[in-house]
Amino acid sequence: MEDELKHFLRNKRLAESSANLLHKIILKIKEEKELNSVKKSFFIFISLFVSSASILFLSINSLINKIKNFGFIYFLKTLFLDYKNLVSFLGDYLFAFLENFPLVEFILTLLGIIILFFALEMFFSKRKSFFKFLKHSI
């Protein structure tokens, strides 16, 4: 009888430790899935941030060059300073203004700003998990 009791208690301890081990394994699997998800989000954030910074740098430089070289500032000065002649030649003025307007550079600059804001929103919404990921990876 005593042997059966010892055998029962030994098996009970083994069963408890294996149940505890199963629980630990499940928790580790969940942590790894979460870590992989955060890792993917972090690299998406980094790629969006770098691409938006490069797009902004190139498009702002191009926009400034177009504004300086193609007389866009002259048209803006005419709009505010020489409005009497502007009214009489409004059609010609609008055509010349639209012809010199750096539309592609303006759209690229807006696109870069939108991507930058999206990346920053992603960072601020997941910053705790990003910092946990960085702390875990270091």
The one-letter code for the residue type at 108 is L
Is the pLDDT at 15 greater than 70? The verdict is: no
Nearby residues of 67 by Cβ (< 8 Å), 6 or more positions away? 73, 102
DSSP H helices, the chain, are: 2-69, 72-81, 83-88, 90-100, 103-125, 127-137
Residue 119 in any domain: the answer is yes
Q: What is the pLDDT of residue 17?
A: 61
Q: Structural domain of residue 114, as residue ranges?
A: 34-137
Q: What is the pLDDT of residue 74?
A: 77
pLDDT digits (tens, 9 = 90+) for 120-131: 999 888 888 888
- Cα–Cα distance between 100 and 82 in angstroms, integer? 18
Residue 12 in any domain: the answer is no
Q: What is the pLDDT of residue 71?
A: 75
**Quick one: average pLDDT of 79-90?**
78
Q: What is the mean pLDDT of the chain?
A: 82
Residue 9 in any domain: the answer is no
